[in-house]
Amino acid sequence: MSISSNPINNILSDYPLMILDGALATELEAHGCNLDDPLWSARVLLEKPELIYQVHTEYFRAGADCAITASYQASIAGFAERDIDETKAIELIKKSVALARKARDDFWKEHEQSNRPKPLVAASVGPYGAYLADGSEYVGNYDVTNKVLTDFHRKRMIALMEAGADILAFETIPSLQEATVLTEILKEFPNTYAWLSFSLKDETQISDGTPLKDCGRQFTEHDQIAAIGFNCASAQIITEAIKNIKESTNKPIIVYPNSGETYDPTTKTWHGEEACASLSHKEWFKTGASIIGGCCRTSPRDIAVIARELR
């Protein structure tokens, strides 16, 4: 990755809104993939990479201005537990970016148009808790040192940058500790930008209990952080969460919540009423979010509604 300007600012300087994609894993399951695996969607990198390309393409067609790669749960440590050596693991991590880039470039050749920006490829950097596969990304109580987190993240980040991602997506980050480690690694690569998206305990706190306002305040002066916000949270708390973080940062605010159902990390199942039909994207935009999409259990249909109503 060799970028001299902030890719999100480049879009938001010309357009009032940047539209993200929705859930990758949900769509892969809809295409017949079994993701009951510690590697989750990263398993498909091994078995059916063409489906990842297909899902990225479907989101671009729906109106997404950004594809988030299938690297959320793709880590060197995670692949090692499947007897995949580091060289092959890095190759697979890079492949997640290559698939998204090819989908974007092929789409843009046929659909280049003046009323939307050329889409970005955001390389997903999922939290340490995603590797643990025990729901830790929703509490953040890893009880590990900064060095453990640094060693876990750095090589993967380098691979994603080398593969040509436009921006890194630090997403579903549950703790101030992990966010700080990630942004410190980022400083080693001054031409790279990232967004920082937290998982939430409620509308006022990230998962480890740190106030949202403190998070906004801590990272707002970090030049390489292109946007701050939250994902993988219930749609019902997003409006109030936007109001809270807006008080302490002048960064663009990014939101991509779940459909409205609740995830049980113990049973790895979803419960409750699906709320996709009532994602309050207009309200979030009016409240101050300028980058909007969907996370778990959302689909290209939901992204198409956002594009149709807010484009």
Q: Residue 260: which CATH number?
A: 3.20.20.330
pTM above 0.85, yes or no: yes
CB atoms within 10 A of CB 187: 11
Q: What gap in Å lies between CA 173 and CA 211, rounded to an integer?
A: 14
Quick one: pLDDT band at residue 265, thresholds 50, 70, 90?
low
**Inside any domain, residue 305:** yes
**Inside any domain, residue 1:** no
Residue 124 scores a pLDDT above 60: yes
Per the structure, the complete domain to which residue 141 belongs is given by 7-310
Count of structural domains within the chain: 1
For range 105-117, the mean pLDDT: 88
* Mean of all residue pLDDT scores within the chain: 90
**Inside any domain, residue 2:** no
Least confident of 11-25, 143-157, 248-262: 248-262
Quick one: pLDDT band at residue 32, thresholds 50, 70, 90?
confident
Residue 291 scores a pLDDT above 90: yes
**Inside any domain, residue 49:** yes
Residue 277 scores a pLDDT above 50: no
For range 150-156, the mean pLDDT: 97
% of the chain with per-residue pLDDT over 90? 73
